[in-house]
Every structure is written in structure tokens, then in C-alpha cells.
């Protein structure tokens, strides 16, 4: 004989599945517009100045639930070999085993887990993977839009986070005479993203 508990679970399961599907049904996919998106970083150099860089090749998408942003998600993949600091020698060093070791670890990724509202602020929480190290990070961000242009909706996201490069195995360094390191441990990552709604499947 089927117990009452099992019977109740069986009766409730379809309701739970429909409810779960409904929670995600309002999410809309927005693909990164790479020509209007920049993924950059800033590192302290010789204790006296900042060096800026960026990645030229990447892809990503946002699943935006405009009714409840906390149900949204993000996936980003970056071609680490596309690092660009406007200095070929420095870029080649960054691609080497001293830093990114791109031949072995060609991609950097971020996969969101959840979005939280903290007062008037939004924070994306997810896993950042660099080389063979994955760590959870929190990324405060601002969301703009959507706006419609040429029949397509667009959104914008501005975000910044700070990471310690040593945590991801990027440990090369040299000491400077005044004390400290040639390249600072902390890296500031800056994201300026424009994303466009994916076309309907019929297009």
C-alpha cells in the first residue's frame, strides 16, 4: 500500500515542477555585443603608477529576468591569449607560464550562481576560474535598460571587482629597491558590457 507521505509527494511533484519552470520563464537571453563591451584590468606597477590592460576576445550572455533581477544569470568565457596592454613584450610575458600560461590554460571563465539585492545595490555571486583555480567572487554591478533600438532590446552592465592574483597562481614578481613588488598583488577588474537580446528562433 502506498503511504500517505509518498502519495502526497507524487501529487505535489507536478505542481512544484510547473512552479519552478514558471520562475524562469520570464528570463530573456542577451548576448554580449563585443564591439561595445570592454573587459579590462588595472595593476599597480613599481608602487608608483597603474598599468591598464584588456582582453580583446571573449563571449558571454546574460539571462535577464526583468521582473526579478535576482533570478538572472551570467556566463562569460575569455580568450586569455588576447590580453592587450599596448606592450608586446609585456603581453608575451603575461601569456607565459609566469602568469596565465595560455598554452595550458587558454580560457578564463565566470559562471554566476545567484544575484542578491543588498539595499539599493545588486551583487552577482559566482565562480571565477583562472588557470586551474576556481574561487567564488562577489561582483557589485549596475544595470541599465533595456532600451530598444532598431527593433532590438539592449542592456548595459557596469561592474568592478578586486582579486588577489596570487590566489589564482599568478605569482611571478620581483622586489623593488624601495620595498614592495614590481607588480602589485591586487588586480582591479573593470567590466563595461553592452548586450543585445537574442533574435527569435525563427530568424
C-alpha to C-alpha distance for 95 and 106, rounded to whole angstroms: 9
Domains, the chain, ranges and CATH? 27-197 (2.40.128.110)
Residue 130 phi, psi dihedral angles, 5° rounding: -130, 130
Residue 14 has pLDDT above 50, yes or no: no
Q: What confidence tier does 68 reach under pLDDT thresholds 50, 70, 90?
A: very high
SS3 assignment, position 30? strand
* Assigned C-alpha cell, 132: 586551474
Residue 48 phi, psi dihedral angles, 5° rounding: -120, -20
Please write the tens of the pLDDT for every residue from 98-144. Answer: 889 999 999 999 999 999 999 999 999 999 999 999 999 999 999 99
pLDDT at position 186? 80
Are 60 and 77 in contact, with CB atoms under 8 Å apart? yes
Check the CA dihedral 96-97-103-107 and report its sign.
negative
> For 68-182, where are the E strands, in sequence order?
73-79, 83-84, 107-118, 121-130, 133-149, 152-164
Residue 65 has pLDDT above 60, yes or no: yes
Please write the tens of the pLDDT for every residue from 89-108. Answer: 989 989 999 889 999 999 99
SS3 assignment, position 156? strand
Enumerate the H helices of 52-144 as residue ranges: 88-95
Q: How many CA atoms lie within 13 A of 40 on its CB side?
A: 15
pLDDT at position 134? 98
Amino acid at each position: 500500500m502506498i503511504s500517505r507521505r509518498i502519495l502526497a509527494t507524487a501529487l505535489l511533484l507536478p505542481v512544484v515542477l510547473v512552479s519552478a519552470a514558471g520562475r524562469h520563464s520570464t528570463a530573456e537571453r542577451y548576448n554580449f555585443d563585443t564591439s561595445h563591451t570592454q573587459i579590462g584590468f588595472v595593476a599597480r606597477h613599481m608602487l608608483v603608477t597603474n598599468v591598464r590592460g584588456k582582453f580583446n576576445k571573449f563571449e558571454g550572455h546574460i539571462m535577464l529576468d526583468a521582473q526579478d533581477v535576482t533570478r538572472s544569470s551570467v556566463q562569460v568565457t575569455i580568450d586569455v591569449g588576447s590580453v592587450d596592454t599596448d606592450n608586446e613584450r609585456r603581453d608575451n610575458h603575461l601569456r607565459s607560464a609566469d602568469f596565465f600560461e595560455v598554452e595550458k590554460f587558454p580560457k578564463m571563465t565566470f559562471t554566476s550562481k545567484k544575484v542578491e539585492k543588498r539595499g539599493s545595490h545588486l551583487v552577482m555571486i559566482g565562480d571565477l576560474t583562472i588557470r586551474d583555480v576556481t574561487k567564488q567572487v562577489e561582483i557589485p554591478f549596475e544595470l541599465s535598460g533595456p532600451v530598444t533600438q532598431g527593433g532590438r532590446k539592449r542592456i548595459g552592465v557596469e561592474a568592478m571587482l578586486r582579486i588577489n592574483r596570487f590566489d589564482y597562481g599568478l605569482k611571478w614578481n620581483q622586489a623593488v629597491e624601495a620595498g614592495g613588488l614590481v607588480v602589485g598583488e591586487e588586480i582591479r577588474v573593470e567590466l563595461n558590457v553592452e548586450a543585445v537580446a537574442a533574435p527569435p528562433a525563427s530568424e
